[in-house]
Structure 1
Amino acid sequence: MPALKSFPRPSELTVPPGAEGWDELYPYHLLFANSPGSEEKFWFCDRYHWPTAFKPFETGVAEFALKCLGQYNTRHLLVPPANGIEFKIHLGYLYMSPVPVPEDEITSRVPEFERRSGHYYRNWEDLLDRWRGKVRSTIAEMERLSFAPLPEMMPFDDIVSGKATDGSEVLLENYDRLIQLTYQNWQYHFEFLNLDYLAYLDLFTFAKDAFPDIPEQAVAKMVQGVDMELFRPDDELKRLALMAVESELQSAFTDTDDVDGTLQAIRDAGGEEWLAAYEAAQDPWFNFTVGNGFYGHDKYWLEHQEIPLAYIKDYIRRVDEGQQIQRPLDQLTAERDRIIAEYRALLDADQTAEFDAKLALATTAYPYVENHNFYIEHWTMGVFWRKVRELSRLFVAAGFWQDEGDLLYLDRGEVRDAIFDLVAGWAVGAPASGPTYWPTEIERRRRIFEALDARRPQPALNTPPEQITEPLTQMLWGITPEQVRQWLADDRDDLAITGLAASPGVVEARARVVHHADQLSEVQDGEVLVTTYTAPSWGPIFGRITATVTDIGGMMSHAAIVCREYGLPAVTGTGDGSTTIRTGQLIRVDGNTGRVEVLEN
């Protein structure tokens, strides 16, 4: 194999004007400068989960997620060829580097991996039911946490009872507990996820050995058409839309930006039954964000009901126009069964039994690949960010900063220090230091953040390896040596982009480039969605578009899975599709080959 070209080293990237001192915003252990050997390792930028720069407080989510991912590969399951994924922040963006297992240790890990993974695979449904209980219990405890203002004086009953505490300890305890519970659910997040990808990877490896010419999409289709909880929020909106049409409530949805006005109009039109169904759907399905749950600015349906109401309004329009708004499940399952039968017929008896077992395991595990998103990224993180804003409002009232979102410019430890500053000033009857210190410091950090966020990050750093063995890196992010070489190619055609053939079909249509969730309202029927990544809550958009192109993502990325479930072509992992293609250009998306052509420059 010829020597691979290299991406820039971290030290070779220039600091954007205005971002000087950026490294002071992030923990020391997340900086390349404090990580010996990092200049030699290959790193890729995870814009799939973190497409924008970090504010200091938001780095905690990345730390929890990547640490917990690693622990299951390395300490829980002992995945033979792969430990975890190292992670750093450079110029505001997250970079990852898969950690391989030394060659001489792989074989010794196999028996222990088989014993541990085998326990999960044999008891999957029971353990998964227990998992749901654990996660829901954590969320319920998070909901009970509160950050109430401290009183002017303690109640006399506290004096009589000898309580001897002032409530400040509750603020500190609840903050620590909020962080701990969120971290706990991130550990639960990865209890099954790596096993999901490994089960699919096992089926994929068997199929490629047994049928050398089988397309990757054919293997993916063998597990399509299953019911997933992640689709439930969108399914609830479709159900409510159909119910609104049946009840002839269309006229009440004229201005869904006016939530109270819309709900009152429905009530005035005799829609009490619809309102009861709408209320019932909110718990838990409106704990859903337009983003991915990793940022403090993400908007959740529960708090911004103009978002689900607008989706319902659009579904009503499409139903009235005679469009089919449900996923084509019958077609998906028929195609799945046909492909399975055709390839199964090519096997001998021994191979058939092995194929059946691997397919059954992959099919059983597959739904969790998406379902965990609802429980952790959406529901857990929705409660987390809501509680963070509640805490921040105490500081706003005390003059520490102006907006509840300003807390995000502090790191986890600084928030705890600020809480003590707040309660100490209250306790001694003297001004706290925060109102003098934080407004200026937050503005300084805001300017740095904005300078970092304005620059598109380098997609990767240093020299790519010849092999990548970590399963999530391949299946979720689509990071393979072959794909990375495409990013490095210096003979690329400006009118043709190559990515991963993630969902079959060919479409010619106008492009709609979306960089942020708040641009989704601009998407028109029949367009091709071109974006860095897609979030699970973008489900209602997939009924309007004709294809998807993403910068990053593998066969098990959300865009790939959802496009297959909706029967739409998809090309993922293009590297720079969202910056190369422009809105309005006529493009040809070939989901069979992974090629996107600009037909009209």
Structure 2
Amino acid sequence: MLDTKSVTEFQERLFLREEDKENNFWYQNDNNFPDNKTPLFLSYMLPAFNYGFNKAMIEKGKYPIGEIVLKSLNGYVYQSMEPFEGDINDRLKEQEDAARPLFPYLNKRMHQIINESLMPYYNKLEADSKKNLSLQECLEKVSELYNFYKKAWEVHFDVIYPTATLNSILEQLYGKLKNTKQTVQVYELLVGVMNKSLETERELWKFAERAKKRPALLDIFNHSRMDKLEENLSRIDDGKVFLASLKDLMKEYGYRKANTHEFIGHTWLEDLRDPLSTIQTYIRDDYDFEKDFSQKVQKREQQYKAFLESVPDSSLKEEFIKIYQWALPAASIRDDHHFYIDAMLTAKSRLFLLNVGAAMVKHQVIDDPEDILFFYLDEVKELCRNPENAAPLIRIRKEEYKEYQSIKVPKTFGTPPEKLKATQHFQQMFGSTEEQKSDKENVFKGFAASKGQYTGQVKVIHSQDEFDRLEKGDVLVCKTTTPSWTVLFSVASAVVTDAGGILSHSGIIAREYKIPAVVGTKVATTSLKDGDIVTVDGNQGVVTIEKQK
């Protein structure tokens, strides 16, 4: 019988306890996990992240940081990371020695690993999503998925570590050649490289162009609310053909969802609202993908040429050129690994787990397949062995989940070690562990992720349901972004985020779109509201509040 009153050993390993807070420094990982998570997602994600990062990044990739541990408090994800205790220079040498032999083959290596290690199981998972499963089969297969999740996140970091090392070396060479510590500009030399996210945008843009040529379709996109697009399109013959073609496209590109790191929330395969909304945005803004992408490539080539002309010939310059020739094609890996691992793993797992939920509905364990997401994994397994009605527990969990969404959680517990705060790799990926203070009341700071200055009106966007509120010229203010948010960068004139560092998705895409960005402010979404006028200084990493509504 399911014991709902005590915390199990499995759940205990997921939770952030008082003794954890006393013994280590913890910070909310709001860059990767900005919102509270469902119990089942935490059951799979936390052990997998812990295993994968420490196995691939630290043990194999020799990253100059100590052990990383993720735990949960009220559904929010907190991270503890130990600074590296040995000789940092020796460790950096080990890191480079581990990664350098892989530099010429990074893309080929990534696709080979994914095709061999992930795709066969993905295909099996997809097949299991469509079967009528017995509870015994469910028990076996949710356990298999738990083991696969750990393997997938080991692959995730195995793909990332040599690319991150390559970019770090490129940064160092750039800084030496330009005699500057402001090395973020080197990433402007890596824009305009085709990847799976850009492929997705290009395909949806083609649908927008197709709709522009059909008056009936264009009228629907111009005059329908986002949530009515599919319904209105399905009423006309042209619209039915359009939707059928879009559904076919989703078989390849539909493994996206608003919240990548969470099982709750529909995928594009299940619901066409998000791709249709993207098409509508492209039509509304008269966006031209090919022109925009071509300009990015041209601008990057011009900047690279200008950079080479600005520094004297030397062995250091020759080394930069060699490293750059490897780094440029490898720039696609940041989005491609997200497409094949972060997004696809979550989406395929969600569809499979909903099928397990359907089996539990048949046995009157739960009322709706989505209810399964509010169990911890050990509870799912116990209910597969001994099915009983768990509706009361689900009601409690749903109430807790909703309550936790609205609470303000502490950003940190404990005091960060000085060595940790100074760790470059940490700052670039995750941002600061604490708010960066300013002497002026109307100013707050973050990381200068994309250069330029812009003064405009704030629009605070909390979720994909609010995308249509962002208008041309607005300053996008949000917690963080993922690839499904990329469409907003063609609309916004500047970006400010709570979370992330210069190598976060927000910073990378802002540089792609040549708009100013200040990331990792910690306070943007709580300090600003719609209609405020701010100046975003992407050169200095400063946001100035000019006028508050």
Whole-angstrom CA distance in 1 between matches of 2:206 and 2:530:
32
Aligned partner (choices 318, 327, 344) of residue 362 of structure 1: 327
Partner of 1:542: 489
Whole-angstrom CA distance in 2 between matches of 1:283 and 1:557:
28
Matched, 1:78 2:78: no
Per-residue CA deviation, residues 412-444 of structure 1 (Å, 9 max, x unaligned), is 11101111113xxxxxxxxxxx21xx2222233
Whole-angstrom CA distance in 2 between matches of 1:262 and 1:89:
42
Q: Structure 1 residues 586 and 325 mapped into 2: Cα distance closer, same or farther (>3 Å)?
A: farther
Matched, 1:344 2:291: no
Per-residue CA deviation, residues 165-210 of structure 1 (Å, 9 max, x unaligned), is xx55433222223333333322221121122222111111222233
Q: Displacement, 1:547?
A: 1.1
Aligned partner (choices 277, 293, 299) of residue 329 of structure 1: 293
Q: Displacement, 1:35?
A: 5.3
Which SS does the other structure have where 1:402 is aligned? coil
Aligned partner (choices 219, 227, 237) of residue 257 of structure 1: 227
Partner of 1:414: 379
Per-residue CA deviation, residues 305-349 of structure 1 (Å, 9 max, x unaligned), is 122122212322333xxx545573344334333433344332332
Partner of 1:306: 273
CA contact (8 A) 1:327 1:566 kept: no
Aligned partner (choices 161, 185, 189) of residue 218 of structure 1: 185
Which SS does the other structure have where 2:418 is aligned? coil
Aligned partner (choices 83, 88, 102) of residue 120 of structure 1: 102
Which SS does the other structure have where 2:448 is aligned? strand
Where does structure 1 differ by over 6 angstroms across 4 or more consecutive aligned residues? 21-26
Partner of 1:431: none
Aligned partner (choices 374, 396, 400) of residue 339 of structure 2: 374
Counterparts of 1:281-300 in structure 2, within 5 Å, are: 281-292=249-260, 294-300=261-267
Q: Displacement, 1:25?
A: 11
Q: Structure 1 residues 446 and 245 mapped into 2: Cα distance closer, same or farther (>3 Å)?
A: closer
Q: Structure 1 residues 589 and 70 mapped into 2: Cα distance closer, same or farther (>3 Å)?
A: same
Partner of 1:315: 282
Matched, 1:95 2:78: yes
CA contact (8 A) 2:502 2:508 kept: yes
Partner of 2:349: 384
What one-letter code is carried by the residue in structure 2 that aligns with 1:477? Answer: F
Per-residue CA deviation, residues 67-123 of structure 1 (Å, 9 max, x unaligned), is 2122112222223x2244222223432111223332258637845x44532332243
Partner of 2:25: 42
Partner of 2:246: 278
Partner of 1:230: 197
Which SS does the other structure have where 1:183 is aligned? helix
Counterparts of 1:395-474 in structure 2, within 5 Å, are: 395-422=360-387, 434-435=388-389, 438-468=390-420, 473-474=426-427
Whole-angstrom CA distance in 1 between matches of 2:397 and 2:6:
8
CA contact (8 A) 2:99 2:161 kept: no
Whole-angstrom CA distance in 2 between matches of 1:91 and 1:106:
39
Matched, 1:185 2:152: yes
Runs of at least 5 residues in structure 1 that lack an aligned partner in the other structure: 1-20, 151-166, 423-433
Runs of at least 5 residues in structure 2 that lack an aligned partner in the other structure: none
Q: Displacement, 1:239?
A: 1.0
Which SS does the other structure have where 1:287 is aligned? coil
CA RMSD in angstroms comes to 2.8
Whole-angstrom CA distance in 1 between matches of 2:29 and 2:245:
39
Q: Displacement, 1:411?
A: 0.8
Q: Displacement, 1:378?
A: 1.5
CA contact (8 A) 1:74 1:84 kept: yes
What one-letter code is carried by the residue in structure 2 that aligns with 1:476? Answer: M
Whole-angstrom CA distance in 2 between matches of 1:328 and 1:268:
28
Q: Structure 1 residues 352 and 71 mapped into 2: Cα distance closer, same or farther (>3 Å)?
A: same
CA contact (8 A) 1:73 1:83 kept: no
Whole-angstrom CA distance in 2 between matches of 1:407 and 1:25:
20
Whole-angstrom CA distance in 2 between matches of 1:521 and 1:22:
44
Matched, 1:27 2:16: no
Aligned partner (choices 146, 162, 166) of residue 199 of structure 1: 166
Partner of 1:13: none
Q: 59-68 or 383-392, which moves further after superposition?
A: 59-68
Which SS does the other structure have where 2:115 is aligned? helix
Q: Displacement, 1:499?
A: 0.8
Q: Displacement, 1:456?
A: 2.0
Q: Displacement, 1:599?
A: 1.1
Counterparts of 1:131-170 in structure 2, within 5 Å, are: 131-134=113-116, 135-146=118-129, 148=131, 168-170=135-137
Q: Structure 1 residues 418 and 24 mapped into 2: Cα distance closer, same or farther (>3 Å)?
A: closer
CA contact (8 A) 1:266 1:275 kept: no
Per-residue CA deviation, residues 25-83 of structure 1 (Å, 9 max, x unaligned), is 982223443756x525332211122122232212121331232122112222223x224
CA contact (8 A) 1:207 1:214 kept: no
CA contact (8 A) 1:146 1:174 kept: no
Partner of 2:430: 477
CA contact (8 A) 1:45 1:459 kept: yes
What one-letter code is carried by the residue in structure 1 that aligns with 2:109? Answer: L
CA contact (8 A) 1:145 1:178 kept: no
Which SS does the other structure have where 1:178 is aligned? helix
Aligned partner (choices 41, 54, 57) of residue 37 of structure 2: 54
Per-residue CA deviation, residues 188-245 of structure 1 (Å, 9 max, x unaligned), is 2112112222211111122223323363332121212211212222221111101221
What one-letter code is carried by the residue in structure 2 that aligns with 1:286? Answer: G
Q: Structure 1 residues 300 and 22 mapped into 2: Cα distance closer, same or farther (>3 Å)?
A: farther
Partner of 2:465: 518
Whole-angstrom CA distance in 1 between matches of 2:274 and 2:17:
42
Q: Structure 1 residues 450 and 279 mapped into 2: Cα distance closer, same or farther (>3 Å)?
A: closer
Which SS does the other structure have where 1:87 is aligned? strand
Q: Structure 1 residues 26 and 34 mapped into 2: Cα distance closer, same or farther (>3 Å)?
A: farther
CA contact (8 A) 2:205 2:288 kept: no
Q: Displacement, 1:147?
A: 7.1
Identity of aligned residues (%): 22
Which SS does the other structure have where 2:194 is aligned? coil
Q: Structure 1 residues 212 and 97 mapped into 2: Cα distance closer, same or farther (>3 Å)?
A: farther
Q: Displacement, 1:355?
A: 1.1
Q: Structure 1 residues 114 and 568 mapped into 2: Cα distance closer, same or farther (>3 Å)?
A: closer
Partner of 1:573: 520
CA contact (8 A) 2:453 2:536 kept: yes
Per-residue CA deviation, residues 562-583 of structure 1 (Å, 9 max, x unaligned), is 1111121111011111100111
Whole-angstrom CA distance in 2 between matches of 1:564 and 1:115:
30
